[in-house]
Amino acid sequence: MKKLINEPGDVVDEMLDGMVMAHPEYVRRLEGTNVLTRADAPVDGKVGIVSGGGSGHEPTHAGYLGAGMLDGAAAGEVFTSPTADQLQGMIDACDGGEGVLCVVKNYEGDVMNFETAIEFAEMEGDTEIDHVVVDDDVAVEDSLYTSGRRGVCGTILVHKVAGAAAARGDDLAEVKRLAEKTVERVATMGTALTSCTTPEKGEPTFDLDDDEIELGIGIHGEPGVERVDVMSADAITDHLTERVLDDLALEEGAEVMTIVNGMGATPLMELYVVNRRLQELLSEREIEVWDGWISDYMTSLDMAGCSITVLELDAEFKELLGAPADTPALTVRE
Amino acid sequence: MNEDTQREALMAALEAVAERVEAEKGHLTDLDSAIGDADHGANLDRGFQAALEGADPEAAPDEFVKGVGMALVSKVGGASGPLYGGSLAHASTAFEGGIDAESSVAFAESYLEKTKDRGGASVGDKTMVDALTPAVHTYKRAIEEDEVAPLTALSRAVDAAERGVEFTTAIRANKGRASYLGWRSVGHPDPGATSTLYMLEELLGVASEYLEGETDAELRVEGEEGDEGEDGEGAK
């Protein structure tokens, strides 16, 4: 394992310090915790939007702290959900008097710790707290036989929509409605060309031959739902896109926004190749693309691969997605 | 045992479990990397080291167990923090009157109930519940129906947990991170069931030391070791 780390157990702490030093105008660290908040949190008179999850997905989550997106971001250990007491501290610190919405990815640890934190926070204060669970990963079926679909890169769009709604003054119920509407209309599927290596384990999480790829991965280095022979960029893009579009059941003339997300070790060059094919496929289906983002938005450490996210739009979404956002990882200008 | 001995035994149990988790850290993480996200061993180890540091040897049994649970909740993270730590803290109230055969059964049942409730898992989902459920049922039955000593009951419970771990190897995961693998999860033992077994084994070891030489009848009257066993799952 060759990594730019000191002690494996110190990675998260040192990363957070480094982030605060890099972006003091955006973020600060709650003392004694692994929680970062907006530098000006809590923002009076605004619903607080908070999220969190394991580390190793940078720039998720703290990269989206700032005006128009998140007020708080809790960092767990690598690929491990933050603890309930840290989440409770974050909720308290981001309450500007109008309540707090927690955006939770559908992983059991995240869901359980957020639920516990909300119980604790409600016992101790009069803050109104609600949460939405994002489950955009179409690779796994939503059925009795799994823990439900995972929350992956579509979560960024939930942050953007909810953050913009809160910024314009919507109340908690309305912010939650818009966040849930986003969850309903967003779909993602990803692929891994290589495993990732967690600092603690020090070797690849799963073994993958040079001529194999994993389809339908999550974001924690867990194997995907299917292992297949390596394919061309276009063939992979076709497969991922078809699964995503089938799930959304879009009709001709639909309008969408897309994300081609890198998993951490895939160059932009390759993401642009994927994006090229994605846009071709949407055009063939007469689906209009309002905007397309290409970058590392929700990564899996040093995994090579990508995911494709599609959100079906309407006028309400376009206003919120186009609203200004000013964060370390994402800027939308007026 | 009197309360001083109970406190001493609980501390010994925590030390034994923490040591075992530390020793098996790499193995548990390897099991988890096959079907999960490769953090189970490291997370539990972090939690138990914190529990050891924060443990108060003078605390009453229920407070001691609760303290261990809260340390796990605040240090382990992931699903294991609320599952192991939350269940331990929840079940600790069973020891308000001290530890005996009866309260140990109540502790075990409360621990199991909270784990199932929090995780939403049932037997057959390939989770820690597959080791915990047969262990708790076996313990309860041994104490209440077979009327054996807690030490004997705990020994049977460990055997039941071991069969539970074997069972998880053969089945498909329906809960937890491994459920996303579907049939690919078959052939791998569940890491949570495995760590649960290790904790029970350590509790049995400590119980054996404290109850050595006592007869079944004597043990039944005193009863404390049994609850250690149960506690072990949580307390480990």
Number of domains in chain A: 2
Measuring CA to CA, which residue among A216, A141, A153 is closest to residue A183?
Answer: A153
Q: What is residue A142's predicted lDDT score, i.e. its pLDDT?
A: 65
Between CA B157 and CA B41 the distance in angstroms is 23
- Asked if A54 lies within 8 A of B74 by C-beta distance, the reply is no
- Whether A4 is covered by a domain: the verdict is no
Q: Check whether residue A216 and residue A234 sit in a common domain.
A: yes
Between CA B189 and CA B183 the distance in angstroms is 13
Query: Tens digit of pLDDT for each residue in A213-229?
Result: 999 999 998 888 899 99
- Asked if A79 lies within 8 A of B37 by C-beta distance, the reply is yes
Nearest CB neighbour to A146, from listed B36, B46, B179: B179
Q: Please confirm, yes or no, whether A131 is among the known catalytic residues.
A: no
* Among candidate residues A122, A153, A183, the one where a domain is terminated: A183
CATH of the domain at A192: 3.30.1180.20
Query: Tens digit of pLDDT for each residue in B59-107?
Result: 999 999 999 999 999 999 899 999 999 999 999 999 999 999 999 999 9
Query: Tens digit of pLDDT for each residue in A315-325?
Result: 999 999 999 99
For residue A204, give the 3-state DSSP assignment.
strand
Q: Check whether residue A169 and residue A236 sit in a common domain.
A: no
Tell whether the model's pLDDT for residue B216 goes beyond 60: no
Closest residue of chain A to B83, computed from CA coordinates:
A112
Between CA B186 and CA A87 the distance in angstroms is 34
Between CA A98 and CA A44 the distance in angstroms is 8
- Whether A192 is covered by a domain: the verdict is yes
How distant, in Å, are the alpha carbons of A70, A104, A117, B36, B187 from that of A74? 11, 11, 12, 22, 35
Query: Tens digit of pLDDT for each residue in B121-133?
Result: 999 999 999 999 9
Per CB-CB distance under 8 Å, the chain A contacts of B35 are: 222-223
Q: Check whether residue A245 and residue A168 sit in a common domain.
A: no
| Residue tagged active-site, from A131, A159, A220, A239 | A220
Query: Which residue type is seen at A154?
Result: G
Q: Check whether residue A29 and residue A75 sit in a common domain.
A: yes
* Beta strand pairing call for A100-105 and A129-134: parallel
* Beta strand pairing call for A288-295 and A255-262: parallel
* Among candidate residues A165, A183, A201, the one where a domain is terminated: A183
Q: What is residue B232's predicted lDDT score, i.e. its pLDDT?
A: 42
- Whether A19 is covered by a domain: the verdict is yes
Between CA A333 and CA B172 the distance in angstroms is 48
Q: Check whether residue A159 and residue A247 sit in a common domain.
A: no
- Whether A205 is covered by a domain: the verdict is yes
* Among candidate residues A156, A183, A210, the one where a domain is terminated: A183
- Whether A324 is covered by a domain: the verdict is no
- Asked if A147 lies within 8 A of B176 by C-beta distance, the reply is yes
Q: What is residue B224's predicted lDDT score, i.e. its pLDDT?
A: 45
Between CA B174 and CA B41 the distance in angstroms is 21
Nearest CB neighbour to B86, from listed A107, A116, A139: A116
Contacts 24+ apart (CB under 8 A), B65-70: B65/B10, B65/B89, B65/B91, B65/B92, B65/B95, B65/B231, B65/B234, B65/B235, B66/B92, B66/B93, B68/B14, B68/B234, B68/B235, B69/B234, B69/B235
Between CA B214 and CA B177 the distance in angstroms is 44
Between CA B179 and CA A147 the distance in angstroms is 7
pLDDT mean over B23-31: 94
Q: Check whether residue A267 and residue A306 sit in a common domain.
A: yes
Q: Check whether residue A159 and residue A51 sit in a common domain.
A: yes
Structure tokens at A20: 């605060």
Q: Check whether residue A68 and residue A43 sit in a common domain.
A: yes
Mutate to test the interface with A, among B33, B72, B88 (most CBs of A within 10 A): B33
The 10 Å CB-count burial string (b at 16+, else e) for A151-183 is bbbbbbbbbbbbbbbbbeebebeebbebbbbbb
For residue A228, give the 3-state DSSP assignment.
strand
Q: What is residue B214's predicted lDDT score, i.e. its pLDDT?
A: 56
- Whether A133 is covered by a domain: the verdict is yes
- Asked if A108 lies within 8 A of B176 by C-beta distance, the reply is yes
Between CA A309 and CA B168 the distance in angstroms is 34
Q: Please confirm, yes or no, whether A159 is among the known catalytic residues.
A: no
Between CA A82 and CA B39 the distance in angstroms is 13
Nearest CB neighbour to A201, from listed B38, B74, B172: B38
Nearest CB neighbour to A77, from listed B39, B172, B175: B39
Closest residue of chain A to B179, computed from CA coordinates:
A146
Nearest CB neighbour to B37, from listed A113, A146, A221: A221
Contacts 24+ apart (CB under 8 A), A208-217: A213/A305, A214/A305, A215/A139, A215/A189, A215/A191, A215/A239, A215/A240, A216/A137, A216/A139, A216/A140, A216/A189, A216/A190, A216/A191, A217/A139, A217/A190, A217/A191, A217/A192, A217/A263, A217/A300, A217/A303, A217/A305, A217/A307
Counted across chains A and B, CB pairs separated by less than 8 A come out at 120
Q: Check whether residue A235 and residue A203 sit in a common domain.
A: yes
- Whether A322 is covered by a domain: the verdict is no
How distant, in Å, are the alpha carbons of A100, A320, A333 from that of A326? 20, 14, 8
Nearest CB neighbour to B82, from listed A84, A139, A200: A84
Tell whether the model's pLDDT for residue B108 goes beyond 80: yes
- Whether A6 is covered by a domain: the verdict is no
Nearest Cα of chain B lies from the Cα of A150 at a distance, in angstroms, of: 9
Per CB-CB distance under 8 Å, the chain A contacts of B174 are: 144-147
Per CB-CB distance under 8 Å, the chain A contacts of B69 are: none
- Asked if A220 lies within 8 A of B179 by C-beta distance, the reply is no
Structure tokens at A273: 């190749």
Closest residue of chain A to B76, computed from CA coordinates:
A83
Q: Check whether residue A190 and residue A301 sit in a common domain.
A: yes
Per CB-CB distance under 8 Å, the chain B contacts of A78 are: 39
Nearest Cα of chain A lies from the Cα of B210 at a distance, in angstroms, of: 35
Query: Tens digit of pLDDT for each residue in A181-217?
Result: 999 999 999 999 999 999 988 889 888 999 999 999 9
Domain that holds residue A116: 11-183
The 10 Å CB-count burial string (b at 16+, else e) for B199-224 is bbbbbbbbbeebbeebeeeebbebbb
Kindly indicate the confidence band of residue B236, based on its pLDDT and cuts at 50, 70 and 90: very low
Q: Check whether residue A174 and residue A197 sit in a common domain.
A: no
pLDDT mean over B20-31: 95
- Asked if A109 lies within 8 A of B79 by C-beta distance, the reply is yes
Query: Tens digit of pLDDT for each residue in A222-279?
Result: 888 899 999 999 999 999 999 999 999 999 999 999 999 999 999 999 999 999 999 9
Measuring CA to CA, which residue among B170, B207, B227 is closest to residue B12?
Answer: B207
Closest residue of chain A to B125, computed from CA coordinates:
A145
- Asked if B38 lies within 8 A of A205 by C-beta distance, the reply is yes
Per-residue 3-state assignment (H helix, E strand, C coil) for B209-233: HHHCCCCHHHHHHHCHHHHHHHHHH
Strands (DSSP E) contained in chain A are 27-29, 35-38, 48-55, 72-78, 100-105, 129-134, 186-192, 212-215, 226-229, 255-262, 288-295, 305-312, 325-326, 331-332
Between CA B93 and CA B103 the distance in angstroms is 9
Per CB-CB distance under 8 Å, the chain A contacts of B76 are: 83
Chain A residues contacting B via beta carbons under 8 Å: 9, 54, 76-86, 107-109, 112-113, 116, 139-140, 144-147, 150, 198, 200-201, 205-206, 218, 220-223, 225
Q: Check whether residue A28 and residue A133 sit in a common domain.
A: yes
Q: What is residue B9's predicted lDDT score, i.e. its pLDDT?
A: 96
| Residue tagged active-site, from A57, A61, A159, A239 | A57
Structure tokens at B6: 């109970």
Nearest CB neighbour to A198, from listed B38, B80, B118: B38
Nearest Cα of chain A lies from the Cα of B171 at a distance, in angstroms, of: 12
Instruction: Write phi, then psi, for A305 (nearest 5 degrees).
Output: 145, -175
Nearest Cα of chain A lies from the Cα of B140 at a distance, in angstroms, of: 28
Q: What is residue B234's predicted lDDT score, i.e. its pLDDT?
A: 38
Kindly indicate the confidence band of residue A144, based on its pLDDT and cuts at 50, 70 and 90: low
Kindly indicate the confidence band of residue A290, based on its pLDDT and cuts at 50, 70 and 90: very high
Mutate to test the interface with B, among A86, A108, A303 (most CBs of B within 10 A): A108
Q: What is residue B27's predicted lDDT score, i.e. its pLDDT?
A: 95
Tell whether the model's pLDDT for residue A140 goes beyond 90: no
H helix runs in chain B, sequence order: 3-35, 40-54, 61-75, 80, 87-91, 101-119, 129-144, 150-170, 191-211, 216-222, 224-235
Measuring CA to CA, which residue among B112, B117, B120 is closest to residue B140?
Answer: B112
